Structure 1
């Protein structure tokens, strides 16, 4: 009888508790620092060590040499490192584009913010390329009519920023109005098609570069800018990028 009474009481309590509303009243957290005191799993470490050693060897491989440090802030409307980046895209991307299409890249446009680190004086390694270009951006070539090129040039004049260019020569007055814009040393023809190399991020509207979407054709080279940098550095014993008159302002 006592056992049955206990069972009845337990059932009543269970039913009563099911009807209660539960509210979260307090959340407590605790910070657990990650430090050297955490024991190393030697079995896992031994397994990944060959991969880590090979990666470190590849990343530290010397490809070229920089006679001084190049930073993206070392210039107003064009910088030595930006000019180098645009040149690399043209130098390494054009042979691929030409082989596939029989055409040539007319100009290059990249973004100033895409340069994420300086090239420091001394040896240039594979790691240098990863530091400067850590993103997985690939080269695309966009066919633009002269009217879209006008929009591109107008964008650059209003951005007032050292977006890397190659093949385009742009001169602004003291109020940032366009004085002259040339591609391959010739005035822009509104009826002509120009082939502009850029990266997939900008092609998709990055940095508000919406003019790329009004195009005749887009060609994907399946070639990362970082890989183009590595290929270029392997061929050049010593880099020598410079500021020039490709994008200037008349004071």
Structure 2
């Protein structure tokens, strides 16, 4: 006779084994032959020259704003504003993206399609949040406290030697707490990335279906030579 009673099972041990993936693994000739033409085609596209940089640009070149960061934010404005205006009849007031979103330098010389993928390897897209002036003030406080060169466009900030805010202007006008501002950013930051929780609640959110990488590519295609500079959009007074 056998009992129908089921015995309780207990996990007594877990074992793991590391399997290293190295170049010592043999290549499958069939797979390699199949992939080769696709790889060559993609590399040809990525290595095509689309613009030229007069110098090398890095996100570590400045304290509160950098040439590459200024280019990054200005490109988002220049490429996205026509899309936004066509859909809404309104203009983007300012742009804010994050310092950490720039993932590579731009080297002096030819700019290729690959350059855009190296700078922006993520699939982040441009969104425009309609937020109150009081939230823009929170945005400004975030930037002043961060003391980091987060890319901005159409926004000018001045701090004193102790990093206390002296002046903040959008399009050369003081921030109006009763006004709604249209701020272009990326979907990651809008959802609170990098601690940027000032975008919500927003009066409206406009999804442009325009990847930041594509904005960069479109700008490089139409611009023969780039020469961005560190400027006065976010500065600290000497005294």
Matching residue of 1:65: 52
Matching residue of 1:215: 202
Structure 1 residues 25 and 133, CA, compared in 2 at 3 Å: closer, same or farther? closer
* Ranges in structure 2 where 5+ consecutive residues have no aligned partner: none
Matched, 1:148 2:135: yes
Take 1:164 and 1:175, find their aligned partners in 2: how far apart are those partners?
A: 21
* Within-5 A mapping of 1:1-251: 27=15, 29=17, 31-32=19-20, 34-36=22-24, 38=26, 40-251=27-238
Take 2:148 and 2:76, find their aligned partners in 1: how far apart are those partners?
A: 19
Report SS of the residue matched to 1:211. coil
CA contact (8 A) 1:148 1:214 kept: no
Structure 1 residues 239 and 28, CA, compared in 2 at 3 Å: closer, same or farther? closer
Query: How much does 1:43 deviate?
Result: 2.2
Report SS of the residue matched to 2:114. helix
Query: How much does 1:45 deviate?
Result: 1.9
Report SS of the residue matched to 2:198. helix
| Equivalent pairs, count | 236
Take 1:80 and 1:32, find their aligned partners in 2: how far apart are those partners?
A: 41
Take 2:68 and 2:13, find their aligned partners in 1: how far apart are those partners?
A: 56
Take 1:101 and 1:34, find their aligned partners in 2: how far apart are those partners?
A: 53
Structure with the greater alpha carbon radius of gyration: 1
Deviates more, 1:65-74 or 1:23-32: 23-32
Take 1:201 and 1:108, find their aligned partners in 2: how far apart are those partners?
A: 14
Structure 1 residues 45 and 99, CA, compared in 2 at 3 Å: closer, same or farther? same
Take 2:25 and 2:128, find their aligned partners in 1: how far apart are those partners?
A: 52
Take 2:200 and 2:183, find their aligned partners in 1: how far apart are those partners?
A: 12
Query: How much does 1:215 deviate?
Result: 1.4
Query: How much does 1:50 deviate?
Result: 2.0
Structure 1 residues 250 and 53, CA, compared in 2 at 3 Å: closer, same or farther? same
Take 1:75 and 1:28, find their aligned partners in 2: how far apart are those partners?
A: 47
* Structure with greater proportional helix content: 1
* Ranges in structure 1 where 5+ consecutive residues have no aligned partner: 1-14
Q: TM-score, normalised by structure 2?
A: 0.92
Take 2:133 and 2:21, find their aligned partners in 1: how far apart are those partners?
A: 58
